[in-house]
Each structure stands twice: as structure tokens, then as C-alpha cells.
Amino acid sequence: MNPTFATSLWPAARSNWILQVVLAVAGSIILAVSAQVSIPVLPVPFTLQTLALLLIGAAYGPWLGAATLLLYLAEGAVGLPVFQGFKSAYQVYYSAGYLVAYPFAAFIAGWFTQNNRNIGFLPALLATLVTFLAADALVFVLGYAWLATLIGTEKAWLSGVAPFLLWDALKVSLAALITTGAWRTVHSPAL
């Protein structure tokens, strides 16, 4: 198995389940905090969750990244106020489709980052950007599909997708830059 960013920094994380649980809990806390950094618009607010989920997937790898996002969703499902505006799952009805996509998006980001790191900086940055765009597109597709069943296709597009495209492009670009730079720093000390 290829190392992840987390296992490169903490090699014991490969086999130490306690450290993996600590990383997952830390990741879920980061997600909860990122959800609170938001611009409230209806029906779905602008948050930093996409940035956080991509970075967690990239840092933790596909399995621990997806598990961390599942932990985050489970925390909300049991009533912990981890979602935007300190809401639980029962209060984020309109955002449910987006949230359900999070573990899958983290898996995509983690798989790519773990398996495609031995290329130059610019090709890695472009490939990471494309992968993260695909992961983010999956979040939009599932979020839009759910929202469209609730408020109609046109309204779902105008309120749940279109306003977020530029904002998410910025977050995805930042996540790709951070991921590629961090990976190069850890694995290529002689830049």
C-alpha cells in the first residue's frame, strides 16, 4: 500500500488503529469547524467543507478519508451539532444530498493522491485539480439530485448549484495547490 500524507508524517498510523481513530476524530472536528465558516444563503449555505473534505481525503488516503467523513455524518445523524450553523442531521434536510456525497468525494481525492504522486509538480497540480474537480462535481450531482426532488430542477440549479460554482472552483484550486505543495515538501526535501 502506498503511503498517505498522514502515514508519511506518522508512520505508526499505518497499523495503529488508535492513531487512525484519533486522526478520524480530528478530521471530523476540522469538518465541523469548516462548516461554521459560512455565508448563509438559502437553501444551501457557502461553507469551507469542500476544502476540508478534499484535504482530509488527500491527507488520509481513500479509506481513512472516507471513514472520517462517515464519522462526521454519523456525528450529525446522532444529533451532534456538527453541520453548518451548529445544526444536526435533522436540520439540514436540503443539504442532505451534498453531505451524502462527502465520503465518496474524500475517497476519490484520497485514492488519487495516494496513487499518483510520482510525477512532476505542474503535472501533479493539474492532475490533482482535475481529480478534485471530479470529486466536487460528484458532491454537486448528488446534492442537486436531492434538492431537485424537493424544490424542482430549475430552482435547485439556481439556488443549489449555480451560485456555488465559482466559490467551489476557488476551494478546489486551493485544495489542489495545498495538496500538491504539501506532498512535494514531504517527499522531495531537495526541491
As a whole number of angstroms, the distance between CA 115 and CA 63 comes to 13
Confirm or reject CATH 1.10.486.10 for domain 5-111+119-187, answering yes or no.
no
Kindly list the distances between the CA atom of residue 191 and the CA atoms of 31, 33, 120, 184, 185, in Å, as whole numbers in the listed order.
31, 33, 11, 8, 8
Q: Do the Cβ atoms of 10 and 61 come closer than 8 Å?
A: no
Task: Tell me how crowded residue 130 is: count the other CB atoms within 10 A of its CB.
Answer: 13
Q: Phi and psi for 83 in degrees, rounded to 5?
A: -85, 175
Q: Do the Cβ atoms of 5 and 113 come closer than 8 Å?
A: yes
pTM: 0.88
User: What ranges do the domains of the chain cover?
Assistant: 5-111+119-187
pLDDT tens readout for residues 97-129: 999 999 999 999 999 888 776 678 898 899 999
Q: Where are the alpha helices (DSSP H) in the chain?
A: 5-9, 17-36, 49-60, 62-77, 96-115, 121-151, 153-160, 165-187
In this prediction, the residues of the chain whose per-residue pLDDT falls under 70 are: 1, 41-45, 86-91, 117-118, 187-191
Which residues touch 150 (CB under 8 Å, ≥6 apart)? 93, 94, 156
pLDDT tens readout for residues 39-61: 776 666 678 999 999 999 999 99
Measured over the CA atoms of residue 5, residue 8, residue 10 and residue 13, the dihedral's sign is positive
Q: What residues form DSSP beta bridges with 47?
A: 38
